Amino acid sequence: DVNAAMALALAGVGVTIVPETVAMISWPDFGFTELVGSKATVPVSCIYRHDHIAPILKTFLNLLPIRESQ
């Protein structure tokens, strides 16, 4: 949770790595340092109602590299 991690950093407990979009916001009490050359990735999921898969959703899902949930 980015908010919890930022609260800990603000409390002086440590540092945290956040998405670049968080660093783009002007936060008065924080300093940000860009991690140049990092190959960081963030796992993401696509969430949808399993009981209503519209045709356009099915088309979209077919375009994604999907690993079925277990």
* Total domains in the fold of the chain: 1
In a domain, 52, yes or no: yes
Residue 70 lies in a domain: no
Q: Where in the sequence is the domain holding 30, given as residue range(s)? A: 2-63
Residue 50 located in a structural domain:
yes
Confidence of residue 3 (pLDDT cuts 50, 70, 90): confident
Has residue 69 been placed in a domain?
A: no
Tell me: the pLDDT tens digits for 20-69? Answer: 888 888 888 888 888 777 777 877 777 788 787 888 888 888 887 766 55
Write out the two tokens for 1: 């949770």
What values do phi and psi take at 63, rounded to 5?
A: -85, -15
CA distance 14 to 20: 18
Q: In the chain, what is the straight-line distance between the N-terminal and C-terminal CA atoms, in Å?
A: 24
In a domain, 44, yes or no: yes
